[in-house]
Amino acid sequence: MALSFGLFSTNAYACSYPDVVAGVARAAEAAGFESLWGGEHVVLPDPQAPPSPMAPQDRILDPVIALTYCAAVTKRVRLGTGIIILPQRNPLVLAKELASLDALSNGRLIFGIGVGYLEPEFRAIGAPFEQRGAVTDEYLAAMRAIWSQTKPAYQGRFVSFADVQAHPQPVQRPHPPIVVGGRTAAAFRRAVQQGNGWYGFALDLDGTAQALAGLRAAAQQHTRPAHLGPLEISITPGRGAAVDLATAEKYAALGVHRLILMPSAKLDGAGLERYVGEIGTRLVGRV
């Protein structure tokens, strides 16, 4: 299987402006990129403090809205949330938003999720930080139910519903592919048990090898449902990391299926379009 390439941060920095993100999305599709990805922070701590990755005034659009905008100006490229902080969302509202995106894009959504790690963000939103893992597991189950069941129902500690419908359902059946982010034992377990894929963020080759070892250990401890098939591996190297053909081949040799490249946050629209064109020439279709 050939290594595919995605583009990260199509909803932040320069790509938070409509003309820029439209141009970059079109350029990425023309260059042969397989997917566009947008991350999420609803609010950012002010002042910035570790582990916050962004300054308080840094621009970042809602990923579902940004990817829907990208869907309208493209035809083929897939659209990935990388990642949505699931325990901060209402699962049925999010399921409606994502089903709408999948419908409008004719089945191009990849649903990437994570549990989050910025306590000030959770506190501001009113979401439970300490219980975020358990909440994530329930929300995923609830979203699968509303997307796929003839008579949707779910009864849990954090979400319960019955006697409701939500249409249209996603184009992709039974639901869009679910990609689980995170490098903890719980994230590895969640990917093995519930994910179509796993997403490792800001990982070099050594970090990728360590994470894949963690996934293999989780697969020995937890049963993977047969219908999920092989676990697809996506990796984003560090921001602005130079990825040449030899490096891409090393990622592929480790078992990576998709490299989601993250250009420098300092690039403007023209610089981003040059970047995706150069990647298309140097890497896409060559690994």
Q: Give the structural domain span for 93.
A: 4-177+239-253+269-282
Residues 6+ apart with CB under 8 A from 232: 177, 179, 196, 197, 198, 257, 258
Residue 238, pLDDT above cutoff 90: no
Across the range 188-207, mean pLDDT stands at 97
> Which pLDDT belongs to residue 242?
86
Q: What's the pLDDT at 172?
A: 98
Confidence of residue 49 (pLDDT cuts 50, 70, 90): confident
Single-letter amino acid code for the residue at 241 = A
Residue 156 lies in a domain: yes
On whether residue 222 sits in a domain, the answer given is no
pLDDT grade for 58, boundaries at 50, 70 and 90 = very high
Q: Provide the pLDDT confidence category of residue 241 given band limits of 50, 70 and 90.
A: confident
- Token code pair at residue 82: 């990388």
Task: Kindly report the CATH number assigned to the domain that includes residue 131.
Answer: 3.20.20.30
For residue 233, is it within any domain? no
Evaluate if residue 47 carries a pLDDT over 90.
yes
pLDDT for the residue 239: 82
Of the listed ranges 1-5, 154-158, 189-193, the least confidently predicted one is: 1-5
**Inter-residue contact 15 to 69 (CB < 8 Å):** no
Q: Is residue 218 part of a domain?
A: no
| Contacts of 266 by beta carbon, 8 Å cutoff, 6+ apart | none
Mean pLDDT throughout 124-135? Answer: 97
Q: What percent of the chain has pLDDT over 90?
A: 97
Q: Do 171 and 106 form a contact (C-beta atoms < 8 A)? A: yes
134: its two tokens: 């358990």
Name the pTM for this structure: 0.97
Count of domains forming the chain: 1
Assess if residue 64 is contained within a domain. Answer: yes
User: Which token pair is 26?
Assistant: 């079109």
* Average pLDDT of the residues in 126-133: 97
DSSP the chain: -PPEEEE--TTBGGGGSHHHHHHHHHHHHHHT--EEEE---SS--SS--TT--S-TT--B--HHHHHHHHHHH-SS-EEEES-EEGGGS-HHHHHHHHHHHHHHTTS-EEEEEE----HHHHHHHT--STTHHHHHHHHHHHHHHHHH-SS--EE-SS-EE-S----SPPSSSS---EEEE--SHHHHHHHHHH-SEEEEES--HHHHHHHHHHHHHHHHHSPPPGGG-SPEEEEE-STT----HHHHHHHHHHT--EEEE---TT--HHHHHHHHHHHHHHTTT--
pLDDT bin (cut points 50, 70, 90) of residue 195 is very high
Q: What is the pLDDT of residue 164?
A: 98
Residue 200 belongs to some domain of the structure:
no
pLDDT tens for 12-23 read: 999 999 999 999
Q: What is the pLDDT of residues 91-103, one digit of tens each?
A: 999 999 999 999 9
Question: What is the distance between the alpha carbons of residues 278 and 267, in angstroms, rounded to a whole number?
Answer: 14
Sign of the torsion formed by the C-alpha atoms of 225, 217, 137 and 146: negative
For residue 127, being part of any structural domain is answered with yes
Q: Is residue 91 part of a domain?
A: yes
Q: If pLDDT is split at 50, 70 and 90, which confidence band does 240 have?
A: confident
Lowest-pLDDT range of 67-76, 77-86, 155-164, 235-244: 235-244
Confidence of residue 136 (pLDDT cuts 50, 70, 90): very high
